[in-house]
Amino acid sequence: MHSFLSRLNTLFAFTLTVLAVLTTGVFLSTYFEKYYSTVSIGVSKPVVKHMTDFSANRKKNDLGVLQLNLDTNLDPLFDWNVKQLFLYLIAEYVTPANVSV
């Protein structure tokens, strides 16, 4: 006869084995997915305004306002494992005073 602790140990080991197999299945179900999408970005209505800095030096500054048109389909990025999606946009520009490296 097996003792209570022996049976409890067998049940615990079986539970851990089942959980390990399920975890491996979850990992393999999303590992081979390709999470990418094509994006087309356009700029419309660019406006540059000359603004005066009202501090002690009264320098002229430029204020750029533009409207970005973003066209993409994000449906392929969502599956059972994706609950939230973060998007960000990085804009770089070059001026005579600010050279891009």
What pLDDT score does 10 carry?
95
Which range of residues forms the domain containing residue 73? 4-77
The pTM score is 0.46
Tokens found for residue 61: 């500054």
pLDDT in tens, 30-87: 888 787 888 888 888 888 888 777 666 777 777 888 888 889 888 888 888 788 888 8
* 101 occurs within a structural domain: no
pLDDT at 1 over 80: no
* 94 occurs within a structural domain: no
* 42 occurs within a structural domain: yes
* 91 occurs within a structural domain: no
**How many domains are contained in the chain?**
1
* 37 occurs within a structural domain: yes
Sorting pLDDT into bands at 50, 70 and 90, what band is 17? very high
Q: How far apart are CA 83 and CA 44, in angstroms?
A: 32
* 38 occurs within a structural domain: yes
* 98 occurs within a structural domain: no
Backbone torsions φ then ψ of 96, nearest 5 degrees:
-60, -30
* 100 occurs within a structural domain: no
